[in-house]
Amino acid sequence: MTFWNNQRVLVTGGSGFLGSHLCRRLKEQGAQVHATSRAPKPEPDSGIRWWRTDLGDMNAFRDLLDSVKPEVIYHLAGAVGASPARELVLPTFHSLLESTVNLLTAITETGCRRLVLTGSLTEPRTGGREATPVSPYAAAKWAASGYGRMFHALYQTPVVILKPFMTYGPAQDTRKLIPSIILSLLEGKAPQLSSGQWQADWIFVDDVIDGFLAAAERPGIEGQTLDLGSGSLVSVRALVEQLVTIMRPSAQPMFGALPDRPMEPVCVADVIRSESQLGWCASTPLERGLHQTVEWYRSTLNAPNGSGGRG
């Protein structure tokens, strides 16, 4: 019998990239998985109970919690995107910050064993100068994490905040960097890129899910904000060159075809603290993770009636 056997777990945003991987792993571990989605989800043979609800509606949120009575909650729902566009201010506020405050309020009223919030590597880090978010998404995530820490400090809400770094792997949105490059190369097209000098801490999705499971299993870490990353930086150019070595494509990437994104933060995960608090560390080398990701997109693209294109 595992820790997760028959645990009632609620995953908000269960149909997203991280959410879908997490739901599958939880089901494999024997949990009773409930998940929210903005669109109707079929349930045959999935073993997952899907719910459609407006996370910005407090009464709907309370009704959901009353129906599910979850012991563990993972909050992954919300708009994703690093664009600084002004029109994203209100959507990110409602989908990321308002939904998180609603969840924290409702859980503090009803109780659960552990609530895991998903932070972001784009959140400003405090230092010698005044921290400023670089996008509406970063600002909303930063504020949501602050509310999570406040709820724990003031009301003892059992919150743990995880900050996944540059996560990649099978079934990621094809508009994201790695899948878009893979699909371009598989289709014989030259992907257009910036200079490729920007560096990031890349981490394979399976390792991130291991961290999410550990965050619910590990006792005594409430109130903590912990990074999920590899602890090392790799430039976009070096990563793309690894993909080219793996795939041996006919087309070659075009570096410098696009401008570099201004104010792009460069940060590396604090893996020492995460290992100490979570008993977790990333175990998938970048090359192996990229191999697995390439093979997934290749098999999807080649599958009959597959959907490996840019939908």
Is 115 a residue whose pLDDT tops 50? yes
Tell whether 72 and 160 lie within a shared domain: yes
Let me know how long the chain is: 311
Indicate whether 214 belongs to any domain: no
Tell whether 102 and 184 lie within a shared domain: no
Tokens of 109: 């009223």
Helix (H, G, I), strand (E, B) or coil at 226: strand
Tokens of 193: 């890129």
**pLDDT tens, residue by residue, 39-76:** 766 565 578 999 988 888 898 889 999 999 999 999 99
Tell whether 1 and 112 lie within a shared domain: yes
Tell whether 23 and 126 lie within a shared domain: yes
Tell whether 117 and 189 lie within a shared domain: no
Q: pLDDT confidence of 304, banded at 50, 70, 90?
A: low
Q: pLDDT confidence of 81, banded at 50, 70, 90?
A: confident
pTM: 0.92
Indicate whether 273 belongs to any domain: no
Task: Tell me the C-alpha to C-alpha distance, in Å, between residue 299 and each of 46, 304, 308.
Answer: 22, 10, 8
Indicate whether 217 belongs to any domain: no
Helical (H) or strand (E) element with 106: helix 99-110
Task: Tell me the C-alpha to C-alpha distance, in Å, between residue 249 and each of 77, 238, 294, 296.
Answer: 36, 16, 12, 16
Is 305 a residue whose pLDDT tops 60? no
φ/ψ of 200, rounded to 5, equals -145, 160
* Block residue for tokens 């930086």: 233
pLDDT at position 44 is: 54
Average pLDDT over residues 148-161: 97
> Picking from 108-112, 151-155, 156-160, which range would have the lowest pLDDT averaged per residue?
108-112
Average pLDDT along the chain: 90
Describe the strand order of the beta sheet including 72-75 as a list of residue ranges.
48-51, 32-36, 8-12, 72-75, 114-118, 159-164, 225-228
Tell whether 150 and 181 lie within a shared domain: no
pLDDT at position 46 is: 72
Residue span of the structural domain in which 261 resides: 168-203+230-268+283-311
What's the CA gap between 12 and 126, in Å, rounded? 29
Cβ 237 vs Cβ 194: under 8 Å: no
Tell whether 3 and 143 lie within a shared domain: yes
Tell whether 131 and 175 lie within a shared domain: no
Is 306 a residue whose pLDDT tops 70? no
CA-atom Rg of the chain in angstroms: 19
The 8-class DSSP code of residue 88 comes to G
Question: 287-290 long-range CB contacts below 8 Å, 24 or more apart?
Answer: 287/242, 287/246, 288/204, 289/168, 289/169, 289/202, 289/204, 290/168, 290/178, 290/239, 290/242, 290/243, 290/246
Indicate whether 276 belongs to any domain: no
**Residue 308's CATH number:** 3.90.25.10
Indicate whether 224 belongs to any domain: no
